[in-house]
Chains A and B, each alone.
Chain A
Amino acid sequence: MADVESGEVLEPQSRHVVYCGVCTMPPEYCEYGGTVKKCQEWLEKNHPDMYIRIWSPEALAAATASLSIEAQKRAAKDAQKKAAKAEAAEKKEADKIAHSIVTIKRIERNKRKYVTSVSGLEAFGYELKKVAKDFGKKFATGSSVTKVPSGGEEIVVQGDVSDEIEEFILEKYKDVPEDNIEFVDDKKAKKAAAAAAGGS
């Protein structure tokens, strides 16, 4: 990636700028992103030459020399605060993922006819609409996102695909751990409800 600096010369081609794979900003701005540690690791691995240019002790010293000591202190404090914040946010996110459960529900619609509902995938950061489309493609059935009365949304797939859908989720959506998938068979509840409705 030596062409990064060539932009100063007037040439018809556009420049290609390297962006940090962690915080998406140009690497020289990583220090303001809050994920400095990770950015450094990433840069060292992927663009060692840039890493040396930006994070070598000489470069850092030159960069901070122009600031007054007081300003330096303030900046350092600010950076620390930001890093802590980013870390906390990440931890929270990881926690959330660890505790979220994907529920696969087989619902009896009519004797021997079923629909499969999947809820909880949104907690892993997937877009339900896209996932629903994928399910539909995979199983060649209708698949849609519907609102649940208790708020939130779930994916409803036509037909009983509960076993296959688990495999598919594990294969395609790697963020979902196997232990976090839960099966529910909604047959009895429906029957009881139907009986209750019939009885009254």
Chain B
Amino acid sequence: MFKKDLTPSPKQKLKSSIQRSLRQNLLSTYPLLTPYIDEVLPKKSSLLSMKLQGVERATLYIIDDSTPLFYEVDKADVPLLPHLKLVHRFPQAFPTIRIDRGAIRFVLSGATLMAPGLTSAGGRLPDPKEGPERAEDGHWTRELKKGEPVVVMAEGKEEACAVGMLVAGTEEVKKNGKGPVVEDAHYLGDGLWKLNTE
């Protein structure tokens, strides 16, 4: 979605009412973020928004003048998605899947994430079982549905490499073993990542 470099545009302060609704939205989309919400969105600091002109219109939310938090694509049914810098700060708050090593370079050049990268030995899909949503080994214990936001980790790496919305449920992916899984993701080194938010 942000394959091309973006140019920074003026930032606008948000009304506190919008800030409040955004906070609500955030918590309902990412319930696991609840313990950290006061750190992500301190009550006192003001939230800024920046309009992005990419292939699609999007709005980036920034806090403390330069820390990017979330972006919202101007399209129906697309959830609020976290900026990768936020994911790196709170990796435990987002549902994850993992791709194998061979797929990393494709994802980092903006390709659509395909199922084989997840179903192979190095990949990781949710593994339904009892217990907390995030298992000890990093597996997610709940099947993710189509349309849910997901963070893409990589085999042998600690940090997340992309974030996007599932276009196929994880159950479906396991069954079919082919086809696109995450389209139009925000990945390391893309325009949004490089965007200067100062």
Interface residue ranges, A against B (CB under 8 Å): 5, 7, 10, 12-17, 23-26, 28-29, 32-33, 62-63, 66-67, 71, 75, 78-79
Q: What's the minimum C-beta distance from A80 to chain B, rounded to whole angstroms? A: 12
Seed contacts A17-B89, A78-B105; 13 additional CB < 8 Å A-B pairs: A10-B92, A14-B36, A15-B90, A24-B193, A24-B194, A26-B158, A28-B157, A32-B104, A32-B188, A66-B122, A66-B155, A75-B105, A79-B105
Size bracket of the B interface? 20 to 34
Q: Is B100 in contact with A29, judged by CB distance below 8 angstroms? A: no
Q: Is B89 in contact with A14, judged by CB distance below 8 angstroms? A: yes
What 9 A-B pairs are tightest by C-beta distance, nearest first?
A14-B89, A17-B88, A26-B159, A32-B108, A25-B188, A28-B157, A71-B102, A63-B156, A32-B105
Q: Which residues of B contact A63 (CB under 8 A)?
A: 101, 156
The CA of A81 and the CA of B130, in the complex, are separated in Å by 46
Q: What's the minimum C-beta distance from A145 to chain B, rounded to whole angstroms? A: 15
Q: Which residues of A contact B101 (CB under 8 A)?
A: 63, 66-67
Q: Which residues of A contact B193 (CB under 8 A)?
A: 24-25
Q: What's the minimum C-beta distance from B15 to chain A, rounded to whole angstroms? A: 26
Q: Is B39 in contact with A14, judged by CB distance below 8 angstroms? A: yes
Q: How many pairs of A and B residues are in contact by the CB < 8 Å rule?
A: 66
Q: Is B122 in contact with A24, judged by CB distance below 8 angstroms? A: no
In B142-190, which residues have CB < 8 Å from any A CB?
A: 155-159, 161, 188-189
The CA of A17 and the CA of B157, in the complex, are separated in Å by 13
The CA of A10 and the CA of B91, in the complex, are separated in Å by 10
Q: Is A28 in contact with B158, judged by CB distance below 8 angstroms? A: yes
Interface-central residue, B36, B88, B108, by most chain A CB under 10 Å: B88
Q: Which residues of A contact B102 (CB under 8 A)?
A: 67, 71, 75
Q: Which residues of A contact B85 (CB under 8 A)?
A: 17
Given known A-B contacts A29-B161, A33-B189, A67-B102, A12 and B92 have beta carbons under 8 A apart: no
Q: What's the minimum C-beta distance from B54 to chain A, rounded to whole angstroms? A: 18
Residue of A10, A14, A25, A67 near B189 (CB, 8 A) is A25
The CA of A71 and the CA of B35, in the complex, are separated in Å by 42
Q: Which residues of A contact B188 (CB under 8 A)?
A: 25-26, 29, 32
Q: Which residues of B contact A71 (CB under 8 A)?
A: 102
B78 at the interface (CB under 8 A from A): no
The CA of A75 and the CA of B101, in the complex, are separated in Å by 10
The CA of A62 and the CA of B101, in the complex, are separated in Å by 12
> Chain B, 74-109, contact with A by CB distance < 8 Å: what is the 0/1 string?
000000000001001111100000001110110010
